[in-house]
Amino acid sequence: MTFDLTQDISLTNPLIYGVPAFVALIVVEIILSLKYDRELYQWKDFGSSVSMGAGAVVLAIGTKLLSLLLFFEVYWIFNPIVDGIRVNIMGWKSFNFHWYLFVICQVADDFTYYWYHRLSHTIRVLWAAHIVHHSSDNYNLGTGIRNGWVTLFYKPLFWLWLPAIGFHPVMVATCLGIQALWQFQLHTKFMPYLGFLEKFMNTHKQHQVHHAQNIEYLDKNHGGYLNIFDKVFGTHRHLDERLETKFGVIHPPNSYNPLVIVSHEYKDIWRDVKSTSNWGHKFMYIFGPPGWSPDGSSLTVKQMQRELARKGKEKENENSNGQPKGPMNGHAPVETELELEASNS
């Protein structure tokens, strides 16, 4: 099959179709916010989001081209032409564009997105790139365009297995585009619960959980447009209307400067790496979970959630026994630990 690279990029790049829709939806949300929620948009913060989004658009012009070239190169290597037919090295014919194969590719895309997204929260050097998207304290469509710049360069690597097993690069890129469009429109509080779709789709309410810094919500709901893989791998959580949702990150950049927003977590990693001569500790500061420390001076998400569960259990025991249990075995309360340096979403 021959292809026109310029044409294929225009067909599969969501920015071609998405940018006008993004702008229109943001304008509509701003108008609604003036009537129903004047605190929804903080204008300096929104300006940072627009700057980050604009930078991502400019960089994407090059990264989309490189990604599609890489997809095609992998596709050609693993699916050579044999007797005029492109055959995968494992023995089956490369996949065509039948609708059911497109559906399978879309589900495989969401599976890939789940692991790309989950690892971007649990490996600190990846979190340093992804934290950009979570760095706003506001949950609105402006946050939906606050995209990291570094992620554009490594994200496509997670999807290389799809052209390698026989999915056409244009199909893979199209699935990525559809997923990006769905992800953008999730970032609004004006959408209600979506009924039965909540059972298998990643919806607006569920994505609010993902953007919250409440300990209960950290590292939950990583799916793209499905919540199936979150349920399978134990990271799914529904929004609890009894809790006050606080958006943003525990360790924010505290700046509206896009360059600070992009780089602040990398600077923190460099500071931590220089603070120790132990090479194992250096490795963990880079590739361990955000918040890891050798002495417990900062906590990971799992450590904070275990502490919260322990505190809840103690309170439950106190209530059931009708009397206090005494000191908490030397542990600081969760409220204090929130102040510790834990660079988590």
Angstrom CA distances, 101 to 97, 114, 168, stand at 7, 20, 10
Q: Considering the entire predicted model, what is its pTM?
A: 0.87
Give the pLDDT score at 279. Answer: 97
Cα angle 62, 63, 65 (rounded to 5 degrees) comes to 70
Give the pLDDT score at 1. Answer: 43
pLDDT tier, 6 (very low <50, low <70, confident <90, very high otherwise): very low
Q: How many angstroms separate the CA atoms of 14 and 16, rounded? A: 5
pLDDT tier, 322 (very low <50, low <70, confident <90, very high otherwise): low
pLDDT tier, 68 (very low <50, low <70, confident <90, very high otherwise): very high
pLDDT tier, 16 (very low <50, low <70, confident <90, very high otherwise): low
pLDDT tier, 313 (very low <50, low <70, confident <90, very high otherwise): confident
Token pair for 17:
């179709």
Say if CB 175 and CB 105 are below 8 A apart. Answer: yes
Give the mean model confidence (pLDDT) for residues 145-153. 95
pLDDT tier, 14 (very low <50, low <70, confident <90, very high otherwise): low
Q: Is the pLDDT of residue 132 over 50?
A: yes
Q: Is the pLDDT of residue 335 over 60?
A: no
Q: Which of 80-89, 101-110, 316-325, 333-342 has the lowest mean pLDDT?
A: 333-342
Dihedral, 162, 163, 165, 168 alpha carbons, nearest 10: 110
Q: How many angstroms separate the CA atoms of 308 and 38, rounded? A: 33
Q: Which of 15-19, 269-273, 285-289 has the lowest mean pLDDT?
A: 15-19
Q: Is the pLDDT of residue 267 over 90?
A: yes
Residue 74: alpha-carbon gap to chain centroid: 25
Q: How many angstroms separate the CA atoms of 150 and 155, rounded? A: 9
CB atoms within 10 A of CB 48: 23
Q: Bridge partners of 87?
A: 93
pLDDT tier, 173 (very low <50, low <70, confident <90, very high otherwise): very high
Angstrom CA distances, 104 to 76, 98, 151, 196, 324, stand at 21, 10, 25, 22, 55
pLDDT tier, 297 (very low <50, low <70, confident <90, very high otherwise): very high
Tell me the pLDDT tens digit for each residue of 214-227.
Answer: 999 999 999 999 99
Q: How many angstroms separate the CA atoms of 239 and 58, rounded? A: 35
Give the pLDDT score at 317. Answer: 81
Q: Which of 2-11, 28-37, 148-157 has the lowest mean pLDDT?
A: 2-11
